[in-house]
Amino acid sequence: MTSFFGLKAQVINIEIKTELGSIMAELNPDKAPITVANFIKYIENHKFDSASFYRTVRMDNQPNNEVKIEVIQGGISYNRSVTSYPPIEHETTEKTGILHKDGVLSMARVGPGTATAEFFICIGDQPSLDFGGKRNPDGQGFATFGKVTKGMDIVKKIQQREDKNQYLVEKVKIYSISILK
């Protein structure tokens, strides 16, 4: 088995501690090695401590989008004291085989190869975010790398919070993201 930061390439369990409760997830380094290694680097260096969920995308708050999705987005972009690592290579869903199903974790990006520390969690199946999907005009989709195993109730609570143009009026604090041993 391949090793990433001393961890064997198997499912890696994590806990995302938020002010609303914990979200448990598993990461798939065997399917998405570059993306998982990047996410783990942020975890191990405590870059997600005092991060936040800051965006909610629901059917009712994207009136001008032809292709609608439902996700919550979080990361470090609103914490000015934390800097991002360089962007990573884009691992498409065609490469990883992890589709944007309910609870899947995926990297936010502008163009291919621009993902850093911003990630989102799918609420319901979101095939338009997969390789060949229509949400992003380049058709490359977004890089999936894991799935929520417990705490979708917390994800849905975050999604239903008050927003202004998809950005939460009150961000939800992420206290930490940690690897469970």
123-172 pLDDT per residue, tens: 999 999 999 999 999 999 999 999 999 999 999 999 999 999 999 999 99
Cα Rg of the chain (Å, integer): 15
Let me know how long the chain is.
Answer: 181
Q: Which residues contact 10 (CB under 8 A, 6 or more apart)?
A: 1, 29, 30
Dist. CA 105–CA 116, nearest whole Å: 14
* Residue that the structure tokens 């799935």 belong to: 147
pLDDT per position as a tens digit, 10-30: 899 999 999 999 999 999 999
pLDDT top residue among 179 and 1: 179
Q: Which domains does the chain have, with CATH numbers?
A: 10-179 (2.40.100.10)
Model confidence at 1: pLDDT above 70: no
Token digits for 139?
């058709």
Three-state secondary structure call for residue 175: strand
Model confidence at 52: pLDDT above 60: yes
Model confidence at 65: pLDDT above 80: yes
